[in-house]
């Protein structure tokens, strides 16, 4: 087993010794006061420094706490399904993958997800375990969604976009909420958040919750039935923020979460997966003579247990430890230039706990050094130009032992590579009502840890009796995503609405196909050893656009209508691990219509969606290769405030039919949820 | 002191009256102070007694303050009219709202007294913040913009959260 390096330990100790931290802006920003003052949401997502949402150089959608409540959803992917450009692939009752502008597949890698500045995207499979997030949905202040490559701003794996989840800061806002829900599929859910503030000195917040339910009852093969398990989730999270002096804030947070689900792997096979994730973080924000200096250090520990047992593989587990240390300085030069420079050190240990036929005990370590910066130039009152760049150097190291006859010897893993990403965006405020945005991003999607270091040998028990060897491929190139985009926003005060439009063109090079079978070799263990590893398979282009009209009338009526169009063109060699090209797995058309009305203590909200056809594949012993015709869904919520503290709501999803055939995976069932919420 | 400086009054600035919305925007900056005001917010509305426009603006601000202007956080707002030639009455004030239409010489007087007493000064007349005499300049329409004078803030020992200073426009 590898251990964090001395450098890792030193960085971490220094950061915590200060007591403090930061990805920090998210945690220490007084969003409420700033939004109240400037009359629009504030974000740090595009530049790392606070900006009014309309001035952001990235295509950004901000989902407010009111919109989250009105959605009636108790899970984040369903809330995200309202954002133009995002598509949801659902492979189980709580198993979601969120795709950005096409490239739909299980264990989606292209979307980086952050929770209060901490990465909750998991590097093992490069995925987000949405059902495992340690957050009370009622405690979310806003969700910022960036579509388009944003690696220079957020880091690798923000190749398709970013979801930045921000909860209420205990320093500035009290957040005392509780809710209990009961619904179909024997769903029982409860969440509670309690906070305490000491005037302006500090605040503390604790959240805890859990959920139990029943997996969808759709038809499954016998092998799938063996791995199907009912969903469950438990979590606890605590955060503290202190104002140590007028110039210095410090914070720390801790979380633990475990979840159980049945969901699709990247290959399209359903499996039962248990995730256990814990985290600790500290940081500071210091307003110094040199600018606003922030430090942020955190540790994510995740363990994944797969009960996936098939003739082709055995149950296994993997453990990932991620240490992140970030330091940045944001400062102004003159009245027109804002800079942010940052450095980052990441260390990852990845260990596979699988029965090995061959004598080996593999473990992989990654060391990543990052330098970068952003520059916001307010050229004129109505024109700003944002630039960002990030350079990374990644070093791999095999820290365990590898079978001497492996096709990829241990020395091959001592490998390094350098990458860079950049973003540039011009925002032109044409009139009080019109804003145009021209944006470019070069994003980097690093290979999964699985691609680099999933090293296992087992017997194929399906008949051949051959040894199967899966090896990492340290020579994989990262996928590069270049996004070109023109956006235009138009306020229509006469009809209380804002129209947002975007057209984009995206180039993907060096896409990765995970665990492709690459040949047979002779070894002393088996006459024929079948070997598989991940390869770079080719390129792909995407293009399309989005249009959204959203508004609210003083009478309480609100609306949100949008249409997304996406086309993906793959080079002939491109087929995802799912076994289909991205051209086929991308629904071209996505139409959404949301209507809501608030009157007195009542809130009524309805949501209709239509997605056009696509093609997915489910590997289940017997193939469920599926062309899914276009389908529509209806969701609704009725909320009633019993008094200033209590709200009762009834929400339902997939109301138009008992089962919705949305992909090759089990049909999505109609669900209803009764929720009692308290704010105290 | 204020009276002496008042002798050096300059010309009259054209006026567009400060209204309740301008005042509410100004008050919404208070939670963003690095050291928040605790307790009643004594707000001095400083006017130029020699300028009818300034006097009228002061009355408008006072009316808005008395008419239910809210301080975020629920603290009580206590407005008082203070003539620019009688700034000794500023003691005890936590916030100073300078009217529009005051002659430029009033800026110096206000700045000195605000600095000496650690008072947050603001005005919808941007000339004050541009001269580094007021800490904040308030623009509420068509969109809210806050202008921030770091020298004036330093002189008055006033600090704001880093995010606010990033979002405010330098004077």
Residue A652's closest CA among A625, A632, A671, A629? A671
pLDDT, tens digit, for every residue of B11-36? 344 446 888 899 999 999 999 998 88
Closest CA to A373 of A418, A417, A420: A420
Token reading at A75:
């899970």
Residue partners of A179: CB distance under 8 A and separation at least 6: A138, A189, A190, A191, A192, A675, A676, A677, A678
Most distant CA atoms of chain B, gap in Å: 39
Does domain A6-679 correspond to CATH entry 2.40.170.20?
Answer: yes
Distances (CA, A) of A262 to A107, A160, A228, A306, A314: 13, 25, 6, 10, 17
Nearest to B36 among A36, A200, A287 (CB): A200
Beta bridge partners of A111: A161
Q: What is the mean pLDDT of residues B149-169?
A: 90
Check whether A534 has a pLDDT greater than 70.
yes
Q: Residue A550 pLDDT > 60, yes or no?
A: yes
In Å, how far are A503, A544, A647 from A564, measured between CA atoms? 10, 8, 34
How many residue pairs bridge chain A and chain B with CB atoms within 8 Å of each other? 63
Inspect the interface and report whether the beta carbons of A38 and B164 lie closer than 8 Å. Answer: no
Closest CA to A145 of A478, A421, A546, A433: A546
> For A30, which of B32, B35, B143 is closest by C-beta distance?
B32
Out of A50, A199, A334, whose CB is closest to B167?
A50
Average pLDDT along chain A: 89
CA distance B127 to chain A (A): 17
Query: Are the beta carbons of A2 and A365 closer than 8 angstroms?
Result: yes
Phi, psi of B7 (to 5 degrees): -65, -20
Report yes or no: B74 at the A interface, CB cutoff 8 Å: no
| Beta carbons within 10 angstroms of residue A13's beta carbon | 11
A259 close to A129: Cβ distance less than 8 angstroms: yes
Q: Does A37 touch chain B (CB under 8 A)?
A: yes
List pLDDT tens digits, range A446-458: 999 989 988 888 8
Q: What is the pLDDT of residue A522?
A: 83
Q: Whose structure tokens read 């202190």?
A: A242
Q: Which residue of B has its CA nearest to A340?
A: B166
Instruction: Pick the closest to residue B162 from A612, A245, A272 (CA basis).
Output: A245
ipTM entry: 0.88
- Among the partner-chain residues A30, A199, A246, the one whose CB lies closest to the CB of B31 is A30
pLDDT at A618: 83
Task: Say yes or no to pLDDT of B7 above 60.
Answer: no
Cβ atoms of A301 and A124 closer than 8 Å: no
| HSE-up of residue B120 (Cα within 13 Å, Cβ side) | 24
> Does the beta-carbon distance from A36 to B169 stay under 8 Å?
no
Q: Residue A154 — very low, low, confident or very high, per pLDDT cuts 50/70/90?
A: confident
- Domains defined along chain B, listed by start: 2-11+18-170 (3.40.50.2300)
Residue percentage of chain B with pLDDT more than 70: 91
pLDDT of res. A30: 86
pLDDT, residue A6, reads 47
Q: What is the pLDDT of residue A621?
A: 60
**B34 in contact with chain A, both atoms CB, cutoff 8 A:** yes
Q: What is the domain partition of chain A in residue ranges?
A: 6-679
**For residue B55, which of B106, B119, B7 has the smallest C-alpha distance?**
B106
Assessment of whether the complete model's pTM goes beyond 0.80: yes
Return the structure tokens found at A633.
């869904």
Percent of chain A with pLDDT over 70: 93
User: Which DSSP symbol is given to A269?
Assistant: B
Q: What is the pLDDT of residue B35?
A: 82
As a whole number, mean pLDDT of residues A108-129 equals 94
Please state the rounded mean pLDDT for residues A292-318: 84
Q: Which residues of B touch A34 (CB under 8 A)?
A: 32, 163-164, 167
* pLDDT, tens digit (0-9, with 9 covering 90-100), for A586-635: 999 999 999 999 999 999 999 999 999 988 888 766 556 678 889 999 99
| Per-residue pLDDT reduced to its tens digit, B24-74 | 999 999 999 988 888 899 999 999 988 899 999 999 999 999 988 888 888
Strands A668-669 and A416-429: unpaired
Q: Token pair for residue B167?
A: 């979002």
Check if A285 contacts B (Cβ < 8 Å).
yes
Computed on alpha carbons and rounded to an integer, the radius of gyration of chain B in Å comes to: 14
In chain A the first and final C-alpha atoms are separated, in Å, by 47
Residues of A in contact with B164 (CB under 8 A): 34
- Phi/psi at A184 (5° precision): -65, 170
Q: Which of B146, B159, B161 has its CB closest to that of A30?
A: B161
Whether the pLDDT of residue A385 is over 80: the answer is yes
Query: Helices B52-66 & B20-27, crossing angle to 10 degrees?
Result: 70
Of A34, A200, A247, the CB nearest to B167: A34
> Which chain A residue shows the shortest CA-CA distance from B36?
A200
| A247 chain-B contacts, CB cut-off 8 A | 34, 159
Q: Going edge to edge, which strands form the sheet with A161-167?
A: A59-64, A140-147, A161-167, A111-115, A118-119
**Residue B142 confidence class, pLDDT cut points 50, 70, 90:** confident
Residue numbers in A near B139 (CB within 8 A): none
In a 10 Å sphere around its CB, with 0-12 CB exposed, 13-18 middle and 19+ buried, how is residue A450 labelled? buried
Examine the pLDDT at A19 and tell me if it is beyond 60: no
- How many percent of chain A have pLDDT more than 90? 66
Contacts with A7 (C-beta within 8 Å, 6 or more apart), sequence order: A345, A347
DSSP at A367: E
Q: Does B25 touch chain A (CB under 8 A)?
A: yes
Q: What's the average model confidence in pLDDT over A383-399?
A: 95
Distance from CA of A600 to the nearest CA of B (A): 24
Chain A contact for B167 (CB, 8 A cutoff): yes
Contacts of B167 in chain A (CB under 8 A): 34, 38, 42, 50-52
As a whole number, the mean pLDDT across chain B is: 86
For residue A52, the distance in angstroms to the closest alpha carbon of chain B comes to 8
């Amino acid at each position: 087993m590898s251990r964090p390096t001395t450098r890792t330990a030193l960085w971490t100790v220094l950061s915590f010794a200060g007591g403090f931290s930061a990805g920090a802006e998210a945690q220490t920003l007084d969003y409420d006061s700033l939004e109240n003052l400037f009359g629009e949401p504030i974000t740090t997502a595009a530049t790392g420094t606070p900006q009014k949402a309309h001035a952001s150089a990235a295509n950004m959608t901000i989902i407010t706490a009111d919109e989250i409540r009105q959605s009636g959803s108790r899970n984040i992917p369903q809330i995200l399904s309202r954002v133009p450009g995002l598509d949801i692939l659902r492979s189980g009752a709580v198993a979601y993958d969120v795709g950005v502008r096409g490239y739909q597949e299980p264990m989606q890698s292209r979307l980086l997800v952050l929770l209060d500045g901490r990465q909750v995207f998991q590097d093992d499979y490069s995925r987000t375990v949405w059902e495992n997030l340690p957050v009370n949905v009622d405690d979310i202040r806003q969700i910022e969604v960036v579509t388009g490559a944003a690696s220079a701003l957020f880091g690798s794996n923000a190749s398709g976009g970013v979801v930045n989840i921000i909860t209420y800061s205990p320093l500035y806002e009290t957040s005392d909420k509780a809710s209990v829900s009961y619904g179909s599929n024997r769903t029982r859910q409860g969440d509670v958040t309690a906070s305490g503030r000491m005037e302006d000195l500090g605040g503390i917040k604790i959240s805890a919750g859990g959920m139990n339910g029943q997996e969808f009852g759709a038809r499954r093969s016998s092998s799938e039935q063996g791995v199907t398990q009912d969903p469950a989730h438990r979590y606890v999270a605590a955060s503290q923020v202190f104002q140590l002096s007028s110039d210095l804030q410090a914070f720390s947070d801790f979380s633990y979460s475990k979840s159980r689900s049945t969901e699709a792997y990247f290959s399209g096979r359903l499996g039962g997966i248990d995730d256990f994730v814990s985290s600790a973080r500290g940081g500071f924000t210091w307003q110094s003579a040199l600018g606003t200096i922030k430090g942020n250090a955190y540790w994510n520990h995740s363990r994944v247990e797969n009960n996936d047992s098939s003739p082709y593989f055995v149950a296994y587990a993997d453990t990932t430890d991620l240490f992140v240390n970030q330091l940045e300085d944001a400062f102004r030069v003159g009245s027109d230039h804002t800079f942010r420079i940052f450095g980052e050190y990441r260390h990852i240990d990845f260990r596979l706990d699988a029965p090995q036929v061959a004598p080996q005990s593999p473990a992989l370590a990654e060391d990543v050094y990052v330098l970068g910066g952003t520059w916001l130039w307010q050229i004129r009152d109505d024109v700003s130009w944002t630039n960002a760049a990030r350079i990374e150097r990644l070093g791999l190291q095999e820290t365990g032992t590898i079978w001497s006859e492996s096709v990829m010897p241990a020395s091959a893993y001592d490998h390094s590579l350098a990458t860079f990403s950049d973003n540039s965006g011009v925002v032109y405020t044409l009139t009080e009502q019109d804003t145009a945005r021209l944006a470019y991003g070069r994003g980097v999607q690093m290979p999964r840890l699985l691609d680099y270091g999933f090293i296992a040998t087992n017997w194929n028990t399906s008949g051949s009796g051959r040894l199967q060897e899966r090896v990492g491929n340290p020579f994989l190139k990262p996928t590069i995503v270049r996004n070109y985009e023109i956006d235009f926003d138009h306020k229509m005060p006469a009809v209380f609405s804002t129209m947002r439009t975007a057209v984009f063109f995206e180039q993907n090079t060096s896409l990765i196909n995970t665990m492709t079978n690459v040949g047979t070799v002779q070894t002393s263990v088996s006459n024929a050893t079948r070997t598989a590893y991940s390869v770079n398979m080719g390129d792909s282009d995407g293009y399309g656009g989005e249009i959204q009209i959203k508004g609210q009338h003083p009478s309480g009526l609100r609306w949100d209508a949008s249409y997304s169009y996406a086309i993906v063109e793959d080079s002939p060699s491109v087929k995802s691990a799912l076994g289909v090209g991205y051209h086929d797995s991308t629904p071209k058309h996505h139409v959404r219509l949301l209507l809501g009305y608030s009157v007195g203590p009542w809130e009524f909200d309805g949501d209709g969606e239509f997605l056009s056809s696509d093609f997915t594949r489910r590997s289940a012993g017997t193939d469920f290769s599926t062309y899914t015709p276009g389908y529509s869904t209806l969701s609704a919520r009725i909320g009633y405030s019993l008094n200033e503290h209590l709200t009762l709501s009834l929400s339902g999803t997939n109301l138009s039919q008992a089962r919705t055939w949305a992909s090759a995976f089990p049909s999505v069932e109609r669900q209803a949820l009764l929720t009692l919420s308290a704010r105290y | 002191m204020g009276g002496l400086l008042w002798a050096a009054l300059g010309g009259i600035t054209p006026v567009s009256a400060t209204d309740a919305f301008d005042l509410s925007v100004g008050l919404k900056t208070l939670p963003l102070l690095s050291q928040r005001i605790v307790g009643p917010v004594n707000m001095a509305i400083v006017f130029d007694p020699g300028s009818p426009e300034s006097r009228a603006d002061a009355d408008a601000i006072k009316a808005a303050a008395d008419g239910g202007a809210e301080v975020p956080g629920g603290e009580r707002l206590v407005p008082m009219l203070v003539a620019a030639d009688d700034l000794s009455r500023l003691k005890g004030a936590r916030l100073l709202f300078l009217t529009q239409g005051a002659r430029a010489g009033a800026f110096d007087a206000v700045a000195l007294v605000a600095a000496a007493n650690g008072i947050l000064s603001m005005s919808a007349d941007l000339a004050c913040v541009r001269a580094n005499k007021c800490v904040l300049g308030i623009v509420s329409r068509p969109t809210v913009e806050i202008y921030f004078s770091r020298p004036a803030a330093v002189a008055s020992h006033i600090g704001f959260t880093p995010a606010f200073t990033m979002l405010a426009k330098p004077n």
